[in-house]
Structure 1
Amino acid sequence: MAKTILVIDDDEDILEILNIVFQDSGYEVILSRVGLETEFINVLHPDIVLLDVRIVGSPKTGADICKDLKADARTKHVPVILFSAEHDLHTMATACEADSYIAKPFGIDSLLMQVQKQLS
């Protein structure tokens, strides 16, 4: 059974590219251009969540969503990878208890390796 990746980013181009890359790698992919509440993410049952830090038009940042996921007993086990061009990404990822982070721009191979590492 294929693992499910939830990708949340407001950039349609990034979502389209990641959708193709992850599907070609055998993953099921769920895409969202807006931040999602923990309750909704729990219903989706992703195996991993990739979150952009800045999500234009969403009331919460990716770091806020990550913090909510890690604070909820139903979703705290789900690996979260933050990705962003923010200069203090490491600090943000640590503060929200993200499992990993990757700086934009990122290489597709590096991202795939991070995802595989978190899913293993």
Structure 2
Amino acid sequence: MGKKILAIDDDIDILSIFQLVLEEDGFEVITSQIGISPEALSLMLPDLILLDINIDGFPKSGVDICTEYKMHKAVEHVPVLLVSSEHNLEMLAASCKANGFLSKPFNITELTNKVKEFVSSEIN
């Protein structure tokens, strides 16, 4: 498998799209419908995190989760891309120190290009 991508989104269909498209490009994709603690994240050490802002049924927003990751020494270096339909996505990404953002709805080429900006497209 290639580089490891963690996708966190409450929408199972979006997670399925991430998994299908990115695995086809040779990435290993781990999906979650809830946030993952920085401690658990430090054990899986993904190369990139795709993170939704609104996670139904989870007490923290994607902005809160991103902020926690960027404040935790063991995982602060892992790039985070916020993926959301929020209208102020650029401002939200800056507020939590996300490395970038991708607006929903997105097209597949847009997704893969954005991922490859942060993760080498070379497959291990």
In the superposition, the TM-score normalised over structure 1's length comes to 0.96
Q: How does 1:66-85 map to 2 (within 5 A)?
A: 66-85=66-85
Provide structure 1 residue ranges, at least 5 long, that are not aligned to the other structure: none
Deviation at 1:36, TM superposition (A): 1.2
- Indicate the RMSD between aligned Cα atoms, in angstroms: 0.9
Separation (CA, whole Å) in 2 of partners of 1:87 and 1:32: 24
Deviation at 1:73, TM superposition (A): 1.0
Deviation at 1:76, TM superposition (A): 0.8
Q: Who is 1:95 aligned against?
A: 95
Q: Who is 2:57 aligned against?
A: 57
Separation (CA, whole Å) in 2 of partners of 1:108 and 1:71: 31
In the superposition, the TM-score normalised over structure 2's length comes to 0.93
Q: Which has the higher contact order (CA 8 A, sep 6+)?
A: 2
Q: Deviation above 3 Å: which 4+ runs of structure 1?
A: none
Deviation per CA, 1:9-65: give whole Å up to 9, x if none.
000111111111011000001000111111111111101000000000111111111
Identity %: 44
Separation (CA, whole Å) in 1 of partners of 2:25 and 2:37: 27
User: Paired residues, what number?
Assistant: 120
Is 1:110 paired with 2:115?
no
Separation (CA, whole Å) in 2 of partners of 1:100 and 1:111: 12
